Amino acid sequence: MIKINGRLLAAIAAASVLVPVVHAQRETPPAGVVNYTRVDATVACAGATPVQALPELKKSGFASVINFRMPQEQGANIDEAKAAAAQVGLKYIHLPHQTPTPEVAAAFLKAVADPSNQPVYIHCASANRVGAMWFIKRVKLDGWDVERAMKEAEAIGLRAPGLKEFALSYVSAAR
């Protein structure tokens, strides 16, 4: 019989909670994609994604793209991206925002929870907005605690204090 120290067991249990945050899968992103994180088999998050990357995303098995970029952002190319996505058979969901709103968050939660959209590729310019929305998804849909979800969101790209404030406020108000 193996004897395990109580403190060792507690440390192992505590560390196991952090495994999804620490071990978010890093794989080679499509050419030109920045801040790419493969969260799991059904989701990847990233920053700027050139139109030329969409065929590779489809070949990688993604069913849809959720884009938070505003049309006026440099390099956003929304119309071109929509057309390229349609051409390769990717569903394209555009939820543009610079400053998120409860309506955008609700639309994102609906889109990301829809099994027909999975696997889903989620992006903005830097992964900052993606991190905020992913935090909301983890708390509201997956039941994660705020601390664990925030660690993962920051690892994905959440940095802006205003986005963090919105995300925290949204999950608190919607409980």
Triad 122, 137, 39: Cα angle to 5°:
50
CATH number for the domain harbouring residue 121: 3.90.190.10
User: What would the 3-class secondary structure string for 77-127 be?
Assistant: CHHHHHHHHHHHCCEEEECCCCCCCHHHHHHHHHHHHCHHHCCEEEECCCC
What domain range includes position 144?
Answer: 25-173
Residue 3 has pLDDT above 90, yes or no: no
pLDDT > 90 in the chain, percent: 82
Question: pLDDT tier at 28 (50, 70, 90 boundaries)?
Answer: confident
Question: pLDDT tier at 27 (50, 70, 90 boundaries)?
Answer: confident
Domains contained in the chain, number: 1
97-114 pLDDT, tens digit per residue, is 999 999 999 999 999 999
151 inside domain: yes
pLDDT score of 175: 60
166 inside domain: yes
For the chain, the average pLDDT equals: 88
122-146 pLDDT, tens digit per residue, is 999 999 999 999 999 999 999 999 9
pLDDT score of 21: 44
136 inside domain: yes
Question: pLDDT tier at 166 (50, 70, 90 boundaries)?
Answer: very high
